[in-house]
Structure 1
Amino acid sequence: MPEGRRWVRPLGWAVSVVSLAAVVWWALQQDAPTLPDTPETIAAFAGAIGLYAVAALVRGERWRLLLSECDVAAPRADCHALIWVGYMGNNVLPARAGDGMRAVFMAPRAKADLRTVVGTLLAERLLDIAVLAAGFVVLAWLAVGGRGFPELSTVAVVLAVLAAGVAVAVLAVAILHRRGLLHRVRELLGPVLHSTRLLRGRHGAEMVGATILIWGLELGVWWLCAEAAGLGIDPIEAGYILALSSMLALVPAAPGQAGTMDAAVLIGARALGRPQSASVAYLLLLRFVLLVPVTAVGFILLVTRYGGVARLRSARAGNIAS
């Protein structure tokens, strides 16, 4: 691991441990949660699992279209199967290693440059962040009237930090240009940024539409889990909790966003004034739906279709050598 990034993994684990400990301590002070025990709540729970699978299918199609736009003829079956493998990797391994697994397995099967495949994952991430950020602003105002937004002073500090980051980036580009290294950097990063540069015109609009559909389906998952838990929230309020949790998921954390997602769900439910025991039940159901089925399917696909961890290591070595 590069010297400058050695602190990222310990920081992620520390954030998760502290957040998870706080969540567990809080949950132990509440009444025992009631899990689905009626036909209606059981049906809602089963519907959430099914809807999450549909969202994964749409993600697979979006990835295939991003690859196709980069002239990568990726097999449709691999685009869909590797979504599940990637989910599994992100749920059980640190540093979103599942995304790396997707790229390493896809590159040789599609006969593509690994950097180009990685670039499509970057485009996915940027699309998700853009839609989630916009959704959070809208849903927060609709659900809680904007409560919980940072104060203007905090916003000013964040903007100042962003401006400083842009200034540093511009300075770095100027130094690289002066030393004659900018061309080499562009050649190295060009394939990685290619998919993002293509997000314009009709293709960009289609990808934004697909991303909105994905998160609309995920909103349905979160709302159905709330129905199964008896939390008593409407789809807009479920969308607010989803957006809040997903934005906090940008914070470095342990596998499966342990701790950070849990804290965000409970904070969001509390902001909506929902019962604490129902909030705990909601969190437990969400954790099951978002982690257990997809991790099991992803592991089965990893072993049966992609040869397991040993094949991953050999594929990674082959990509690095090439």
Structure 2
Amino acid sequence: MSKTRGRDLLKIIPGLLISGFFLWFTFHKISFAEIRELHFASPLWIVGVVGFTFASYSLRCVRWAAMMRGARASLKTCARVLLVSQAANNILPLRIGDVMRCFTYADDLGASPSVILSTVILEKLLDIFILVLLFVAFMGPGVSAHSRVLAETMLGVSATGLLVLLLGAPRLEGPVRALFQRLPQTGLFAKAEHWLLLAIDCLRQIGVPGSLLLLVQSAVIWACEGMIYVSGAKALGFVTDSIGAWQAVSIANLSYLIPSSPGAIGTFEWAVRAAYVSHGAEPAQAAVFGIALHAWLLVSVTGVGGVVFLAHRIATHNRKPLLGEIESLPPELP
């Protein structure tokens, strides 16, 4: 176990280096005076930032509870586990928050780790589809023709894959097994087959109407997320065009796919800056806005998740050390 944890710690170092590089690349030409220029221009829009953040994460809890309806977990339990996992993802490496959702809290949710994992996979598929859709719909004029073709291809592939999963899940298991039998049965291929079959099984249990409802919920969630960016820009007097925020929310959240430190520090700021600059914003203002927005999201989500975590420990008289909460994780993370 200790050797495995040691290897996991070694995996953190490249992520920290990547985050450091992106922070340097984003801010090395920005002076401290430009950062100090950040101020509230329309404080009333802070209500929008707070309100849309609350709406976005509340709807995430409702969506995941709908995915978990086959288990005995209540909406309250699903919300607690999801918020705690989101907070853990922001401060712990290797997306351990998602792994904790599957293993540490399986008993609380009344479901097996494999069932929970299937819902996490479905959640990611829905989010990536909406984010790629936003990216294609709101590309700035500075995006090259090759990038446009690549983005549109990604959208076509993700849309086709998601629709096939949503509408044809009951008939997919056989073809998927047959496909992977032709591939090596070890390493990445074996994991990909396992994860894909879990997602198919989850969709089969939810059914087509339920799956389409999840897609609509995902669209509303990301609409609320986009409004956080719009409200933040209004509050800080950050000037951009009317659609810059919508490309920013897509690129910023897709940047979490880049290996980096917990919370996507560095990659998030770079993505926000790149998105807004492509929509005519000043690079320095875009970078400063990105770090302010990221700070809000990290502090608010991590803070709420931490409070929920501690409140549940106190209510259940849990005296287990904090680090003991992740001792139930498998030695080799999936």
Q: TM-score, normalised on structure 1?
A: 0.79
Q: Displacement of 1:254 after TM fit?
A: 0.7
For 2:303 and 2:64, the matched residues in 1 are separated by: 22
Higher mean C-alpha displacement, 128-137 vs 280-289: 280-289
Whether the 8 Å CA contact 1:90–1:99 is kept in 2: the answer is yes
For 2:133, the equivalent position in structure 1 comes to 134
Shift of 1:150: 3.5
Which consecutive residues of structure 2, in runs of 5 or more, have no partner in the other structure?
155-176
Look up the match of 1:313.
326
Structure 1, gaps ≥5 residues long: 159-168
Counterparts of 1:268-287 in structure 2 under 5 Å?
268-287=275-294
| 2:254 maps to amino acid | M
Residue 21 of structure 1 corresponds to 24
The equivalent of 1:63 in structure 2 is 64
1:141-169 Cα distance to aligned partner (Å, 9 max, x none): xxx237246458978x99xxxxxxxxxx9
Q: Does the 8 A contact of 2:253 with 2:268 survive in 1? A: yes
Question: Identity of aligned pairs, percent?
Answer: 21
From 233, 237, 245, the counterpart of 2:252? 245
SS at match of 2:78: helix
- CA, structure 1 residues 293+237, in 2 after alignment: closer, same or farther (shift >3 Å)? same
Retained in 2: the 8 A contact 1:115–1:192? no
Correspondence list, 1:149-228, <5 A: 150-151=146-147, 172-174=180-182, 190-191=197-198, 193-198=200-205, 201-228=208-235
- Quote the Cα distance in structure 2 between the aligned partners of 1:27 and 1:189: 44
Residue 44 (structure 2) aligns with: 43
Q: Give secondary structure in 2 for the equivalent of 1:249.
A: helix
Aligned pair in 2 of structure 1 residues 53, 266: CA closer, same or farther (>3 Å)? same
Q: Deviations over 1:263-287 (max 9, x none)?
A: 1111112212213443244123202
> What's the C-alpha RMSD, in Å, of the aligned pairs?
3.8
Q: 1:30, 1:277 within 8 Å by CA — same for their partners in 2?
A: no
CA drift at 1:27: 2.6
SS of the counterpart of 2:73?
A: coil
Matched pairs, number = 299
**1:111-135 deviations in Å (ceiling 9; x for gaps):** 2111111111111001100111111
Q: 1:33 touches 1:277 (CA, 8 Å); kept in 2?
A: no
Describe the superposition over 1:246-271 as per-residue Cα deviations: whole angstroms up to 9, x where unpaired: 22221111111011111111111221
- State the alpha-carbon separation in 2 of the partners of residues 242 and 66 from structure 1: 24
**Aligned partner of residue 232 in structure 1, secondary structure:** coil
Q: Output the TM-score relative to the length of structure 2.
A: 0.76
Q: Is residue 308 of structure 2 the alignment partner of residue 295 of structure 1? A: no
CA change 1:32–1:3 in 2 (3 A) is closer
